[in-house]
Amino acid sequence: MNNKRHPAPALTPAMVTAVVSPDVEHPLDLSPMHTVRRDLAVRAYSVDGLESAVAIESKSLGELLSCVGQNRRQFRTVVDRLLTRQTRALVVTSSWTALESGEWTPRVTPASA
């Protein structure tokens, strides 16, 4: 009798289905993952079957700067919801050049950050 354990097959992105909230106006291209649109308790993105454990929020640079400044309370609510998940991420969609330039709209002071 052969008692050797065989390693589990490697998980590939094509085997994963991402859940995208209908609230996301311009979803990220997550290919080769499959995507479905479905309401999420913690918004933006998750993984099918793991919604209670995985939450991903996506912000453009402008949205992030707005959150740090004038919409801080609303952003805090988003962060608090993210913190209820075991695996969470905040993805900022921006080029590194735009981030480094400091020529942001809206203007954010170091004190407000």
- Enclosing domain of residue 35: 13-101
pTM, two decimal places = 0.77
Extract the runs of DSSP E, i.e. beta strands, from the chain. Answer: 17-20, 34-37, 45-47, 54-60, 87-93
Per-residue model confidence as pLDDT tens digits over 67-110: 877 788 888 888 899 999 999 999 988 888 888 887 777 666 65
> Looking at the domain assignment, is residue 107 inside a domain?
no
> Looking at the domain assignment, is residue 4 inside a domain?
no
Per-residue model confidence as pLDDT tens digits over 11-60: 899 999 999 999 998 899 999 999 999 999 887 999 999 999 999 999 88
> Looking at the domain assignment, is residue 56 inside a domain?
yes
DSSP H helical segments within 1-113, as ranges? 61-68, 72-82, 96-101
Per-residue model confidence as pLDDT tens digits over 93-102: 888 888 888 7
> Looking at the domain assignment, is residue 108 inside a domain?
no
> Looking at the domain assignment, is residue 2 inside a domain?
no
> Looking at the domain assignment, is residue 28 inside a domain?
yes
> Looking at the domain assignment, is residue 61 inside a domain?
yes
Q: How many domains does the chain have?
A: 1
CA dist list (Å): 63 to 32, 89, 93, 104 = 27, 16, 10, 11
> Looking at the domain assignment, is residue 110 inside a domain?
no
> Roughly what angle, to the nearest 10 degrees, separates helices 72-82 and 61-68?
110
